[in-house]
Structure 1
Amino acid sequence: MTLSRRNLILLLTAFSISMILGAWVFQYVFGYPPCKLCYYQRYPHWAAAGFGLLALGISGSIFPYLAALSAAITGIIGVFHSGVERKLWEGPSTCTSSSIDGLSADELFDQIMSAPMVRCDEIPWEMLGVTMANLNAIFSLGAAVLWIIVARMTTR
């Protein structure tokens, strides 16, 4: 059984919406507040869902390609966030800890007081070594590939 173009678009649009809903469940039901990079991963899902809805109503391949780009962007942010969580590289200075070497007591106090409540370089949840950022990266990059397949279906 093969999925039609329309059904694939519906499935992929639902995927992005479910990723946002899942993030909200972790945030509002389970009490895991998002960090700055978590928020950054949500925005492209909104765009992908919007482009998916447009692709349902307007023929052509531009909207599936834009949805693919959006899914790829959130996947790449997820890869970056995964590296920040695992201390492979530093994240944005606004949501990661920095060195306190050479700081005066006043500078250290200022750094503590300006520190974000939720840090990007800490893993708030993981299962079997897989974090939310890891899941977003894997699933979103896979969705980007599927969006490209959908876009190519329209050009044949």
Structure 2
Amino acid sequence: MMTFPVRLFPSLLLLACVGAMGTALITQYGFGLEPCILCFYQRIPYVVAGVLAVIALSSKVPVRGKIVLIALCALAFAIDSGIAFYHVGVEHHWWESACVGGVNPEANSAEALKALLAGPPPVPCDRIPWSVFGISMAGYNALFTCGLAVFSVWAARTLKRQA
């Protein structure tokens, strides 16, 4: 049986989180792809998993604690994969979402007026600003986080067997 250094898996998970967040920020600020609210929701599990990975890298955390933290990373990635899959469904109009469209400037209500005065309308979640091979950023995120969840489960089980 091959043994792995205990710090390897949290390091790889942290690298994946930093890379994903870096990619999201570069596409937003470098290429002007404005995120919708679901895009922002997909970033939260990356931050959570990144913090868990940093904690797992601490030398003061015992191996059993590292296993639990990596398993929690798997949960965060699974949640993110679900959010991303939901976002893909919204993009393809498989189901309804409250964040489709924007503010209707023709609406005659106080809420519509407040929304217009508050600034530009939020980016609609059903708009696909970028895709490659017919897969949007949300689609790639669903695949990536699903893979990270599987990897995290495997890593936690591997460390448990090594302990």
Q: State TM-score, norm by structure 1.
A: 0.84
Amino acid in structure 1 at the alignment position of 2:143: I
Residue 73 (structure 2) aligned to one of 51, 67, 87: 67
Identical counterparts, % of pairs? 35
Q: Which residue of 2 aligns with 1:96?
A: 100
* Post-superposition offset of 1:50: 0.9
Indicate which of 105, 108, 116 corresponds to 1:106: 108
Superposed displacement of residue 105, structure 1 = 5.6
Q: Secondary structure at the match of 2:7?
A: helix
2:51 pairs with 1:46 = no
Question: How far apart, in 2, do the equivalents of 1:73 and 1:30 lie?
Answer: 27
* Residue in structure 1 matched with residue 129 of structure 2 by the alignment: 124
| Aligned equivalents of 1:27, 1:110: Cα separation in 2 | 27
- Is structure 2 residue 127 aligned with structure 1 residue 141? no
Q: In structure 2, what is the Cα distance between the partners aligned to 1:26 and 1:3?
A: 38
Partner of 1:82: 88
Deviation at 1:119, TM superposition (A): 0.6
Unaligned runs of 5+ in 1: none
Aligned length, in residue pairs: 148
Superposition RMSD on alpha carbons, in Å?
2.4
Deviations 1:99-151 (A, max 9, x none): x9xxx9625x9388488331101101111101100011001010001101111
Instruction: Report runs of 4+ in structure 1 exceeding 6 Å deviation.
Output: none
Q: Which runs of 5+ in 2 are unaligned?
A: none
For residues 9-42 of structure 1, give each alpha carbon's deviation from its aligned partner in whole angstroms, at most 9, with x where no partner exists: 2112111111111000000000011100000000
- In structure 1, the residue matched to 2:160 is 155
